[in-house]
Chain A
Amino acid sequence: MRHSLSLQIGPVAFRIGSAWRAPLEALAHLYQGYPQPERICDFTVRLEPERPWRRWLRPSVAIAGDYVLPDAAPMALAHGLLAAEMGMNLQMALGQKSYLLLHAASVEKDGRALILTGESGAGKSTLAALLGERGWRLMGDEFALLDLADGRLRAFPRAVSLKNGAIAVMEAEVDADRFGPVLAGTPKGTIRHVRPNKRALAAMAEPARPALILFPRFGEAAAARGVGQAEVFMRLTQSSTNYVALGGAGFEALNGLVAACPAAAIDYPDAATAIDMVEGLWEQAA
């Protein structure tokens, strides 16, 4: 690879290689202040031309790495940053064996973690990013890593991927310097990444004990309901990318999590309501 960059994000070390300079420059700016890996990287992400000659002719990025999905779509070079982010997610989702991976955002307070999980568009990233600016420590917006050995959650504070309406919400909250470029016209609409704050980066090696699981859903009238343990278990297996691959170890870890945490589904019409609901439920769970 002509250009490369190494990054430590929580317990995982990535090396991103690229045939082009631009995506890595964008990545280096977005990930300013992240520690350098002190060992060999766990995962490699490669951004390479779809065909060799396409590096010059209407460039298009294909995502590759240790683990490759056959349908990882080539993207326009303008979205190279997004390709790098997707590549990092892909490597984690397919290759991570030390942690049960939950497609969930997480934040921490007093050593205890709140897990937010739900379908894409449920608002977990935005909610976690906002909480991260309002007294909580952002642990991650995309993957929650449940340690198979001790049942604690490890932080994975990647840049937060904001979509469409959430971009303006965070622009009002956070310094412009922490944002990546606006990526318009992606398969998920307009996307803009924001770097977690200094507190999140400084504490990325500190695990937290899971204490509450919430299933947020944006766009509905405010309502909260308890979720039974069997339903929580089932929903979490569905939100995990490696539950089946981990076998018995995944079963044990998920069981421990479900047994230890109360859970609720919350519907919310706007971010302010959601934050009030989260704080209220957190007090009840304490």
Chain B
Amino acid sequence: MSGARYVADPAECLTRVELDGLSLLFHHPSGMTHIVASPAPQILEALQLGPADGGEILARMRAWYDLEGDEAADAIDARLEELEAAGLVRRA
């Protein structure tokens, strides 16, 4: 199934710091700080290769990480919606 396609700002727009299992993201264009958990930072990494829908993001992530089962696809769709609400990704 192909869903909505998303795009993220270039990597230099984001400063990322890892703090005990969570990622702190400072989004330079908005000046906002976000505290996110995995897989949100990995989704943003995957989008650095270009616009993608949930399925394509999952395929990109599978190339880098060991992902098990079908739950990953649902998790990615849910995180994409949250990232969109936070202004870290937008519809392509």
Q: A: which residues have CB within 8 A of B?
A: 228-230, 233-234, 237, 243-244, 247-248, 251, 255, 258
Contact = CB atoms under 8 A, between A and B. Distances in A.
Contact of B26 (A228, A230, A234, A248): A248
B33 A230 contact: no
28 contacts: A228-B19, A228-B20, A229-B19, A229-B20, A230-B19, A230-B21, A230-B22, A230-B24, A230-B35, A233-B19, A233-B24, A233-B35, A237-B33, A243-B33, A244-B31, A244-B32, A247-B28, A247-B31, A248-B15, A248-B26, A248-B28, A248-B31, A251-B15, A251-B26, A251-B33, A255-B17, A255-B24, A258-B19
Contacts of B33: 237, 243, 251
Interface of B: 15, 17, 19-22, 24, 26, 28, 31-33, 35
A31 to B, nearest CB: 36
A27 to B, nearest CB: 36
A243 B33 CA distance: 10
B15 A230 contact: no
Given A248-B15, A251-B15, A251-B33, A230 B28 contact: no
* Chain A contact surface mostly: helix
A234 B37 CA distance: 14
Nearest to A237: B33
B37 to A, nearest CB: 9
Contacts of A234: 35
A36 B19 CA distance: 43
Contacts of A243: 33
A228 B35 CA distance: 13
Nearest to B37: A230
A243 B22 CA distance: 20
Give the most central of A234, A237, A247, A251: most B CB within 10 Å: A251
A131 to B, nearest CB: 28
A258 B21 CA distance: 15
A237 B19 CA distance: 15
Given A233-B19, A248-B28, A251-B15, 15 more contacts: A228-B19, A228-B20, A229-B19, A229-B20, A230-B20, A230-B21, A230-B35, A233-B24, A234-B35, A237-B33, A244-B31, A244-B32, A247-B31, A248-B15, A248-B31
B87 to A, nearest CB: 14
A247 B20 CA distance: 23
B63 to A, nearest CB: 28
B69 to A, nearest CB: 27
A204 to B, nearest CB: 31
Contacts of B20: 228-230
A125 B15 CA distance: 35
B22 to A, nearest CB: 4
B62 to A, nearest CB: 27
